[in-house]
Structure 1
Amino acid sequence: MAATAELIRGHWTRGEPGRDAPEQLVVALYRWWVVAMTLKTLGATWDICWHFRWLRDDLAPPHMINTVGTAIVVGLVVFHTYTGIGADRATLRWMQWGLGIFLVAAPLDVINHRVNGLDITAWSPSHALLYIGTGLMSIGLLRGWARYGGGDRYSYAITCFLWFTVLDNFLFLNQHQEYGVLGLAAWDRGTPYADDELLQFAADDLGRPLDRIAVEHFTLPVPDWVYPTWAVLTGLGTLLLARRLVGRKWTATTIAAGYLAFRCVAWGLLAAADFPISAVPFFVLAGAVAIDLSFQLAARIRPVVGAAAVTSVSYAALSLQETYLAAPPADYSTALYVVVLFAGLWWLFQFLLDTEQGQQLVLRAQTMTGARESTTPSP
């Protein structure tokens, strides 16, 4: 830490993006990114659980954890911008735009809930800006790490973690239904997770007495087609892109397994602290395995056959989870168009990454993680 602090002080001078700097300093900066994103992920995970129990509180502990992570991000982006170290111009723009949108969205979210009430709908416009801002930052972070992070001995682990943050950012929206389905079941048992003030607020917000309809509107406010569609197209789409860019076998499975392990640990800690619990999307792991196995197929048939395999396996696993464990209600007929959209997404990734610029991006990512697989389209 002392050596890193000395390097930071010694390089706190104005520079152009992409400026040369000691490898130790660049790696330290990106390790601080890992700390910041960890805090933001922990804060967000606790936050949605918090709001299934109590009314909104601007100074709630989850918000404070997230704020500390955001403060570190601000400091890092300022350092990258002023010194030009650890980020080229394109990387810097992704980081700056992402952070800017997030910082604008945060007060807008506070105003939105002062005007409109309950802070629970994960799909609100102000929340969407928070996700978009975080997503853009993650793109810049992944791009910068792929370009400058090759000297770290934990390169592959950090790469998987950064893709984990992208996956978590997308699947965070689905946590509304995952908490909601168990929240509604708790109401039906006569032991609701939410306190009386929150339940009454939810009923007043809908303009009806406190009954099951009001609680269902509070816990499961989106149509049943949203949950599986979003999980496959965004969650598994993220894992597909990670597998293609990183290039190592079982990359999608590794990231999905890490995400589910995190969700299980969070589930245990929150349950032990008597907080609401959620369904955990174990079916995502089946889709991730299908993605990795699909890369054994010839490139020309991979988008169609792979999309069919991933979609069918994911929906089958979701059905089993709903039957034997717990899962939000899902419209399984959506598989008919999800498979088409996922095939198109797969083809688009393959087309873009097979261009010269895309091949260079793949090569940098694979060199960084020590991947041995070829960057050509064939397996």
Structure 2
Amino acid sequence: MFRVLYLGWLVAFVFKVLGASWDVSWHFRWIRDDLAPPHMLNTIGTALAVALTIVHWYTGYGVDRTASRLIQWGTGLFLIAVPLDLINHRVNGLDITAWSPSHALLFIGTAFMIAGVIRGWFVGAPAGRTRTVVLTALFGFFLENAIFPSQHQEYGVLGLAAWVRGQPEAEPELLKFAAESLGRPIDLVAIQNFSLPVPDSVYSVYAGVVGMIILIMARIMVGRAGTATAIAVGYLAYRTLIWPLLVVGGFPGSAIPYFLLVAAVAVDLAFLIPLPTYIRPLLGTALITAGVYGGLYLQDLLLEAPPYGPGSWPLAAGLLFASWLVVELLSSRFQLRAPDAAPAEVH
């Protein structure tokens, strides 16, 4: 029964990821529609997640108190965010950016939900290969959810280039609606504000802090060399696989964040160095920041990368170092380290 419940979570997250991936590409072509197919896929995943949340809450099975609360808070926050997002769209029309408050509530709710599932599996699953593989996969879903808002820039950079070439990927109705929302005609300024609505540095700082701290936490909890790299490879393989499917289907493509592979390798290298627990973040931050910004530079040189603000690296490094220290403290306090974590009592 324990494995059935967590298999259900994996299926729910697969539906949510498929719907989310299609959704962002959909919105770079057409005006928003509440009943669009991507939303329906996401709704299937959400319905399954709600059902699993109720089972955990009612029976107490497969989770400890912390995991149960995280799952409940996450699911509740997500369900609250859904009508708020619908109201936002009814009032304001097209939501120009993935970074809006109502969208943030959706991402944060999902993050709490996945964190609770990770906690439940971590403390309840027996040691072995299955435990490691599923825990790694769950962190992959966690990374995907965190990176999702950044896809606005990943799609936007190619969408803007297409418009400049005179081959816009968005339907004329969407271009007109987006321009009118900004009070402008359909011109370069309007399209640029629609495609890339946040400062360039947001992309690199967000990836260099939030994305990397998830990979660091994964390495701590899974406890296997190469964990961060495996998660990045899996995520990038998925993005690479769906890219041609979307494009062949007539939807816009994105600049896939291949720089994450370089950064993930840096995370794993940081854990190979024999250093005291609270000293590793110092050297590790330097390695990972170099991996993030160096990877972005290489991707921009060889392929296409979203605007990333090279001068923002000190901010990203400082925030990552502080976040890493907090993660080290919390992982020790709540026994989340793979080698010495004592399983919590589960029902």
> TM > 0.5 between the two?
yes
Q: Distance in 1 between matches of 2:336 and 2:144?
A: 27
Could you report, residue by residue, the CA deviation over 1:202-243 in whole angstroms, capped at 9, with x for unpaired residues? 110011111111100110000011000000100111001110
1:332 aligns with 2:317: no
1: CA distance, partners of 2:62 / 2:279: 39
1:164-243 correspondence to structure 2 within 5 Å: 164-243=140-219
Distance of 2:211 and 2:166 partners within structure 1: 34
* Unaligned 5+ runs, structure 1: 1-24, 368-379
RMSD, aligned CA:
1.7
Distance 2:18 2:8 in 1: 15
SS at match of 1:105: helix
Q: Distance in 2 between matches of 1:349 and 1:211?
A: 45
Is residue 76 from structure 1 mapped to residue 49 from structure 2 by the alignment?
no
* 1:176 CA displacement: 0.3
Local SS of the residue matching 2:340 = helix
Between 221-230 and 340-349, the greater mean CA deviation after superposition: 340-349
- Give 3-state SS (helix, strand or coil) of 1:326's partner: coil
Q: Which has the higher contact order (CA 8 A, sep 6+)?
A: 2
> How far off is 1:329 after superposition?
1.1
User: Displacement of 1:313 after TM fit?
Assistant: 2.1
Residue 315 of structure 1, aligned match among 271, 278, 293: 293
User: What amino acid is the match of 1:363?
Assistant: D
What amino acid does structure 2 have at the position aligned with 1:167?
L
Contact 1:353 1:362 (C-alpha < 8 Å) held by counterparts: no
Give the Cα–Cα distance (whole angstroms) in 2 for the partners of residues 115 and 198 of structure 1: 17
**What is aligned with 1:377?**
none
Q: Match for 2:271: what amino acid?
A: F
- Quote how far apart the aligned CAs of 1:360 are: 6.7
Whether 1:106 aligns to 2:82 is yes
Alignment correspondent of 1:30: 6
User: Does the Cα contact within 8 Å between 1:146 and 1:365 map onto a contact in 2?
Assistant: no
CA contact (8 A) 1:246 1:366 kept: no
Q: How has the CA–CA distance of structure 1 residues 148 and 196 changed in structure 2, closer, same or farther, with 3 Å as cutoff?
A: same
Matched residue, 1:250? 226
Give matches, 1:284-323, under 5 Å: 284-297=260-273, 298-299=275-276, 300-323=278-301
Name the residue aligned to 2:340: 363
Distance 1:302 1:274 in 2: 47
8 Å Cα contact 1:182-1:278 kept in structure 2:
yes
TM-score normalised by structure 1 residue count: 0.87
How far has the Cα of 1:366 moved from its partner? 9.7
Q: Which moved more, 1:150-159 or 1:233-242?
A: 150-159
Structure 1 residue identity aligned to 2:118: L
User: Counterpart of 1:34 in structure 2: which amino acid?
Assistant: L
The match for 1:124 is: 100
Identify unmatched segments of 5+ residues in structure 2.
none
Q: What is the 5 A alignment of 1:25-104?
A: 25-104=1-80
Q: For 1:180 and 1:173, how far apart are their aligned partners in 2?
A: 12
Q: CA deviation at 1:78?
A: 1.0
**In the superposition, relative to structure 1, how do residues 195 and 366 fare at CA in structure 2: closer, same or farther (>3 Å)?**
farther
Contact 2:94/2:178 (<8 A) preserved: yes
**1:372 alignment counterpart:** none
Match of 2:131 in 1: 155
How far does residue 65 in structure 1 lie from its aligned partner after superposition? 0.3
Letter in 2 for 1:354: S
1:75-106: CA deviation from partner (whole Å, max 9, x where unpaired): 11111111121112221111111101100100
3-state SS of 2:76 partner: helix
Q: Which one has the largest radius of gyration?
A: 1
State how far apart, in whole Å, the 2-side matches of 1:215 and 1:185 are. 10
| Residue aligned with 2:149, SS | coil
How far, CA to CA, are the matches of 1:220 and 1:46 in structure 2? 19
Amino acid in structure 2 at the alignment position of 1:26: F
